Structure 1
Amino acid sequence: MAKLYKRSYIFIGLLFLFLHGFLPLMAQDATDSTNTGNRAAPPVSIAQSVLDSLAGDTLRPKWIDDLQRFGEIEEVKSQREYKEGRISIRQNELLSLLKKTIGEAKLYLRDGIDTVGVARELEKSMAYFAIVKDGVFENKGSNQTQRNLSVSASILAELYKTMAHRQQTLNKYANDLIGFKDKLDSLNSDPVLYRFSSDSATTVHYVGRLLLTAREIVPADSSLKQAITRVQDLQLKLDPMVFTLRSALEDIERYRKDLSEKTFSREFNNIWGPVGYSRPFREILQFSWAKEKLAFSFYIRDYAGRFMLFFALLALCYLFIRALRRSILREGLHEGTSEAQLVTKYPLHSAILVVSGIFQFIFPSPPFVIACLFWLAPAISLCFIFSNYVTPYWMRFWITLILFFVLACVVNLVLQASRTERYIMLALAFAGAIYTAFVLMSKRKNELREKYILYFIGFVTVMEIASVLFNAFGRHNLAKTFLISGFAGVVIAILFLWTVRLLNQLLRLANVVYRHTDQKFQLLNFQKVGTEVPRFFYVLLVLGWFILVGRNFYSFRMLSDPLNSFLSRERTLGQYDFTINSLLIFTLILVCATLLSRIVSYFATETPTQGDAKKGRLAWGSWILLIRIFIICLGLFLAFAATGIPIDRITIILGALGVGVGLGLQSLVNNLVSGLIIAFEKPVNVGDIIEINGKSATMKSIGFRSSIVVSVDGACIIIPNGELLSQHLVNWSMNKNIKRVELDVGVAYGTNLEKVKTILTDILSDDDRIMPVPVPLVVARSFGDNSINFKMIFWVHNIREHLMVTSDIISKTDRAFTSSGIVIPFPQRDIHVRDMPTTPPAKPEA
């Protein structure tokens, strides 16, 4: 608007100058015409003269030059103002970008990597690597040991994984910092920032903004420089560390491969020969303890979630066995069946044995110290289970075997060979071989509960004899492998045998206790479980035993590594990349979610006994559907997340399925949505007494698509959820299960009616099953054909008792009326005979 006003003033000025020069010219022309005869010049000649003067044909007036100069000045001024406007716009953009970049850089520096923590972690890794080097790259002795190489490799793999991850994170952090620094330098070096306006007021205002921005840039730029310097210093230390760890891992793998190729070759002198390398046994124990502790802590940290799952399963199993024991004691099923119910005698120890035996396989390649704990804890628990069950001889055998196993584990934790260790191994293997051979030759084998254990005792004898021979002739690695495999093999075998036995007992007892449970929701058919262990369990037992014992041999990796490579190899199908491992994980998660959902329904739909608090048990029954839906949805989400399937592809599939749902699955969707409405609004709960189609029934379960009710005659009726909501449903339990009862009775004419009312009122008041409020009512209703009719109106506390209450009231009323001389009349009719025959009928002719 200001520019418009300015241009208007310029136009008025030009018009004034034009008139100022044009009017005198016209006056001069008029004077010339008067002097020449007073003839007026034609308008055309006047206009022509003006044009000629403008064209320069005549003498150029001064106002023309002024007008031209003014135009040139205004042109230059307008162009300068336009350029300054564009520069001002660009300057505002640059200042905004600078402030935005400074803010992002400050936030990134604040939330970025803790370089001090990374430096501290790097120092720890260096210290750990110094521990790993002992016995492998330093103080190697005359030969390596497989145990030392195995533990060192696990520690180095963890260190390398951690440091490589830190390296990638640090490189990304450094690139981001350099990107912020480069962006600030690029914006700050733009020459437009340093162009100032010709207007002094505008220049002063812009210089102020520029100074404020510069005050923010300087500390941010300094912080970025310092952060970049720290990160680059860390990179100079971290990159060689990662390279060193990777090289050390490759060297250890080469050492292990060389040892495996020379399995039966001599590694040391004979045990009676000279000592080739001597190192104090105490030092060997110290660095072995340090390495085992590192391997233990790293594995616990990496698989903390699986350990939490393991202990959660242990707690659930313990609670289930304890609940099973209480049910057995409550129902009196424990008499005379102590051997068959051994699993419930010690719930905690049984849970440890069952869960450790089955779920230890969820831990991939655990360190030996963790594997020892998985075997030692159930072995101690089995001692409690064996008490007062096995004979004292075999109880002593089991305790002795545990002691041998513990000693073998301690020896196996020693990571470097020495003459002292070899003597200990020799004595332990020799003692184990002699003891197990003596047990095999004893006459107590008939007392053994499980005959298969004899085969594993023979296995120990053979393995320990082989360990003695290999140790004596300098095959140290092979001797130690045979030593621990023998004792661990028999302990694992006995643990597995009793795990299967206790699991079978657990399932069989569950069939006895939960025999009334709805078969639809049972996870297993307990009635098929017999007194003997199924052979299928033994197949799994042998397979698991081979896996656990085979981990002690390096050659086991020759079989497991190709299998792992096959399962983890990436494959492509169309535009989707997958591995067999991911498919197995996807299936496993879905199966576990489904099983967990069915387990929840299985225990939630248990029919309570009379001694249970039914309301407390059934109060949460209506939430089972929501819990099952949540478990299934969570399982689907985790399954897709674990396999890396993009969510957008799932939405495409769901969109395609939506068309089919809209066309042909309206009824199914209606029932599913109705199930959700029932679960949220709760018009009916599990355990409620309802009336449907004029028949009473009890709500048993609410499913995804349909619900199950049990009628009074015992039939299970499956009702789609949509129909359950669409019809007029009577819910007696919604009003606390109370019911109004009406009972009619008639007395003969002439009876004292007040006496009748008093008798009936007393009968109703004396029954505790009848509610005092509302007050029971007795009224004379009508005059009947044969009696005066009374009506008794009362409320019962529980609808399930209304039939029994009605029956008792009728019996009491009959007795009271009889003793009081009150007659309950029966219908009477008078028969009038109009005609009677007087003569007998004629006899027919012969």
Structure 2
Amino acid sequence: MVLSCVFSTGSVSAQPQQTAPIIVDGNPIFEVSPSGQFTASQRADEANRILREIIKDSKSPVRVEIDSNRDLPVILVNNSHILSVTSNDLPKGRSITEQAKIWQQQLAQAIEQAQYERTLSYLMTATLISLAVLLVAFFITYQLEKLWHRWIDPLLERANSQVLLTETGQPLTQLPTQPRPKIQVFSEVFLNLIKGLIGFISIIYVTRLFPQTRQLSYDFVNLIVNSLVADLVTLGDKQYSVLDLVFLIAVLIALVFFARTLGVVLRSRVLSFTGLSRAAQETIALMANYTMVFIGAIIILQLWGLDISSLTVFAGVLGVGIGLGIQGIAKEFVSGLVLIFERPIQVGDFVEVGELMGTVERISVRSTEIKTLDQISVILPNSRFLESEVINWNHRTPVSRLKLAVGVAYGSDLSLVKNALLDAAKQHKEVLTNPPPKVGFVGFGDSCLDFQLLIWISKPNKQFQIKSDLYFIIDSIFRKRGINIPFPQQDLNIESGKLQVEISPELINSLTELSQSLAAWIKHQTNSQE
């Protein structure tokens, strides 16, 4: 019912006006109605044109008279025909003569005021008032900004810090490279809106002081309004203006936000108490969101007066567009539907796609958001999950097996090594007892005996942390039990006890000459010291 009233009001506002105003320097004086073959706009436009020329060219007082010698009273300005007063212009209980006299007085006062506003004394006064208004507006905005940064910003910052401390237990510590909190951005935007509003009001007031600028502003506003309400698009047998389209788009956007909010409420207030998994909750909330948007859009279009069957041409054009220009979007949309209904991955799953590894946070019809182990959100197109190899550690069951390679020195007691590895696995709380941990003797390595510890975990997104913890525990147990972990080394053994080396005659001669020269130099140094 509310939507019906809203859309009916919008349709009424789009109807053509039954009256049109008589304007003097941007001030509406009175309104005229259609008469005979002339519309209200035609009568008003002609009268306004004549009045504008008379006021512009006249220096002496203007005469506004009524010619009663005709079938209908005619209002004359300096003997120029302005308009005739007809029965359509009359309100209830008023005669044509009375209406003509009222309009005569209103026109005379408006023209007298227009001539006064063109005098030098008025223009000087209006100029001084304009400067004063602009200075006051500048002073108000300047002081407002100072007071805002002195009082409002610290108050908002303290409130934001208190909220952050309550939610996370950590105080707000903003680094220069970090983005500003949303509440600070909102504060700046709101302050700029207030300053802009003050400036806008000041400019409007100044333009209202001068007849020329007042007329220009009125014409500009009138042009904008006429452009908004003029028929622009034809769908079926109805025509719609820009204002109608803007109103429709605003209602559809409000529908999308309402559906999204309702989906969040459904997930947090209803589905969270059903015991369903997080993935099932996300899927139900997402389907409810899109269903509400689809049904709501159809209802709104019908209430708007649009025949749904008239959209067949638009659907055909959209199909051609999909085939030519938006194949990628359509491809991602279809991939998103496959992910939602077939559910190879779900929200909360720990997946590995190429070099990326992280938890699925959100699945939409176009893309999927993954939060990596570094807490970085990565947006991936849905088609990537269908076209490339994806490792889902949580598919069907979150239980996964990890392998830890361990090497010990040759000569170690194998039973002692096995028991040490099993004890290390038992000490970690994230290692499952069913299936139990196992130790395998892999083989003889180049410098160590290779073992493999096999464990089962239920939180694959913590596998790297679990591996690190286990290696710390294994190292501690090995040190306590005297088990050595070797490092790679190579030994060179000579079986005969002598190393046979062949030296060429040239090298022997060179070494002999070098030794003789060295002996002679040493002898010379000795004699010189004596």
When normalised by structure 1's length, the TM-score is 0.32
If each structure's helix is expressed as a fraction of its own residues, which one has the higher value?
1
If each structure's strand is expressed as a fraction of its own residues, which one has the higher value?
2
